[in-house]
Amino acid sequence: MNRNEDELQKELTSLKPSVSLDPQKKESMKTAIRKHAAQKRRRTTFKRSAIWLSTAAALLISGVVVMTIINNHQSVSPTEEHDTFEYSESTNEKAQKPAENTDDTAETLEDSQIPEELSVTEQGTETRNLMIEGMAEEVMVTNYTLEPYGIQYQIEEILGNYTVDDQVVRHYSDADNAWVTLEVMEDANLDNAVSNIQSEYSGDFNYTEDPADTSQDENPYQGIRQHFSDPPQGYYAYQIGENVLVIQYEYVIEAGDGMAPRLQALRESIDQ
């Protein structure tokens, strides 16, 4: 170590740091420390405020998104209700269509209940012997078929004229002083049919025969007959299958000669 270095070391050793501070400087230092601490607190508060604000902003944005979703859902719901309503209306319309079909079915049933048009078909002529006023007499008869029922019968030539009107066949004489009608009551019961027929004979007659069964020797069908006078008239009703054949007759007394055997010949000719 040279001389200069020794001297420098001595000088440094002789220097003593001053540990005492000026009171004003102490106060100044305390103030500076307080200001620094206050600034630090403000910075901390600012940071906390920034964090709170960012959190609040995030919550606000989330709330806006949720409200938007809810509003969109509510705006779609009426459409869905409208679609449901339209579907319900469509379903109701479809449900009502069978009602139209039901009406068509009812009309079809009503049409099916309307009897088919009655008609008469001539099936040729033949001769037949009748006992008229106790004497055998050969007469001409015409064979007829009542359609669509296939009921066959014969009418003597004195009643050779006929018409078909309102589901009734009417055979009559040239002078129209004797006539016979035939009609068919469909899906009818014999007793009920007779009850309806009897209501047509409500007038006052000199003679009223009690209803009686027809003879099985004349034809194979169960029947009821009844005669009234004056003028002579009456009916025969036969149960033929599910239908009832109704024969009604009337004639004036002057034309009565031979009517009984002619009516008997008619009853005997009935067949199906």
Q: Averaged over 4-14, what is the pLDDT?
A: 60
Least confident interval from 44-53, 121-130, 203-212: 44-53
CB 155 within 8 A of CB 144: yes
pTM of the prediction? 0.59
pLDDT in tens, 221-267: 999 999 999 899 999 999 999 999 999 999 998 877 789 999 999 99
Separation of alpha carbons 237 and 268, rounded Å = 13
CA distance 247 to 139: 21
pLDDT digits (tens, 9 = 90+) for 113-158: 666 899 999 999 999 998 888 888 999 999 999 999 999 999 999 9
Taking 3-state DSSP, the helix, strand and coil percentages for the chain, each rounded to the nearest 5, stand at: 45, 30, 25
Tell me which range, 40-54, 70-84, 196-210, is most confidently predicted by mean pLDDT: 196-210
